[in-house]
Amino acid sequence: MVFIDPQIARPGAGAPVDKDWWRGAVIYQIYPRSFQDSNGDGIGDLAGIIHRLPHVASLGVDAIWISPFFRSPMLDFGYDVSDYRDVDPMFGTLGDFDALIQRAHDLGLKVLIDLVLSHTSAQHPWFKESRASHDNAKHDWYVWADPKPDGTPPNNWLSIFGGSAWEWDGERMQYYLHNFLAEQPDLNFHCASVQDELLEVARFWLQRGVDGFRLDTVNFYFHDRQLRDNPPLPEADRNDNTAPKVNPYNFQDHLYDKTQPENLEFLRRLRAVMEEFPAVTSVGEVGESQRGMQTQRDYTAGDDLLHMAYDFDFLSNVYPSGSRIREVLERFDRIVTEGWACWAFSNHDVERHPSRWGFSEPARRLYAALLLSMKGTICLYQGEELGLTEAYVAYEDLQDPYGKRFWPKFKGRDGCRTPIPWVRDNANGGFSDGKPWLPMAVEHLDRAVSVQDGAQDSTLEFYRAMLNFRKGHAPLIKGNLKVVQASDDMLVMIRTLDGHSILCAFNLTGEDQRLILPPGGWRHDRSAPFDVTADGDDWLLPPWQAFFAVADHAGTTE
């Protein structure tokens, strides 16, 4: 195997390394199956990503995060890995990946990849060996347990995808643990050899030039050695941050099947591997409904664990009123005292937020500006810049096993994974010359890139303008944040960095709102992509409009 020198693979070789580039960065998530197909098989691929990278770079984002492209039987569409060190043929080759890294770096984009370490595919050679006997070299690489005397599973743990988290295996005459599909057995992180091998997997991709990892289900790595039952969760404490309401997974307090204290030492080992390379980062997906921010705090404290953790508060169904946003931001600062936030409104696992929250077009743009004004790193999901809504996918076209299990109360994740429309003038939207793996949403064609590109009043051009505005104001990237006014209808906050301040005010309603500026000598920044009229220190914010102002005297708003 030929590796690329990481110093060569990354842009700016020989230049000073900014190890903190990820603080305040904007990361664009690419779901490769649905981004761009280059060979007519109806499935997006790495060559397609390369072809469309100029579009991503034109937005003004800093990095891309690519969802899994490893070898896989695709029962969970790449999150069931059968070979961590190769590209699945449907996506291309390792050579294609190397070319993607080079092209992204040439365009000034960092590259993060999605590492799925908590479980593998049942078709992975490790699992095939592990299940073969009780004494082979990998017999303890997965979580095996004897049944209870009556033959039932070892405990009451549940799978996120429904049913028991234990699957009977007739070869070993034992149960194995799977927190997701039965075909996704969980690795046993209590086994030192498993940890060592997964650290080598991380090193393999770092040597190929990646700039960091999004770590899937990072708090699921370890399980309780004693296999203790989870206690029931009172109904009043249940929410749908981790699983939909129809899933009995929400009925348990998940004290023992995940988020175990041993995980901290493994994360330190992983961080040590990352520190061997210049300026890489990590963002952990913490799937934890009851103790999410506490786990984020624990996983990001200091400089030897994760760089940041992916937050779920704005991926939930709770409407983001000004009061709600203030509560989340202030709770994060109160609990995650040392960590850095990573915020998102949409991703590949949840209903697209314009549909989830019932946003009009003006509301979509306003909330995009709000997201890009928060303190933290920002993740945008492909199609967000086009204002895409959740697509309807008929049951006969459904691909997601999660949706098939809980249909029709929960329709699964296919509605946010339909192909990106690049052009309007053909049924497949320029995504593929073949039949797409999920149907192109007809209503998305009018939002195609070709329609919006260069159109002054388009959502796409708004995103470009807002991202450019953010880049021009350092406090919006790495500055501190203070909420100075919040109600259901209005949110006003100040970002401050090195004596420079910017005030950000958002009218979160369809009616005019009066804004009285706080003390500080504020000057309206007209470069923001909003139209607001002035009347001294008394400003009228039209429906779904934002107001940005900078302090005339540095430091007056500290």
Active-site annotation, residues:
216, 276
- CA 130 from chain centre, in angstroms, equals 32
Q: Rounded to the nearest 10 degrees, what angle do helices 459-471 and 46-59 cross at?
A: 70
Q: Which two tokens stand for residue 177?
A: 């643990």
Identify the helix (H) or strand (E) that includes residue 484.
strand 480-486
Task: Say if residue 409 is exposed, middle or buried (CB neighbours under 10 Å; 0-12, 13-18, 19+).
Answer: exposed
CB atoms within 10 A of CB 407: 14
- Phi, psi (degrees; rounded to nearest 5) at 443: -70, -15
Q: Where are the alpha helices (DSSP H) in 414-478?
A: 449-452, 459-471, 474-478
- Phi, psi (degrees; rounded to nearest 5) at 298: -65, -35
Strand order in the sheet with 490-497: 480-486, 490-497, 500-507, 546-551, 522-524
Cα maximum dimension of the chain: 79
CA–CA gap between residue 277 and residue 209 (Å, rounded): 9
Of 480, 487, 533, 486, the C-alpha closest to 502 is: 480
Task: Say if residue 276 is exposed, middle or buried (CB neighbours under 10 Å; 0-12, 13-18, 19+).
Answer: exposed
Task: Say if residue 463 is exposed, middle or buried (CB neighbours under 10 Å; 0-12, 13-18, 19+).
Answer: buried
The answer to whether 187 touches 117, Cβ cutoff 8 Å, is: yes
Give whole-number Cα distances, 332 to 4, 144, 336, 389, in Å: 39, 37, 5, 28
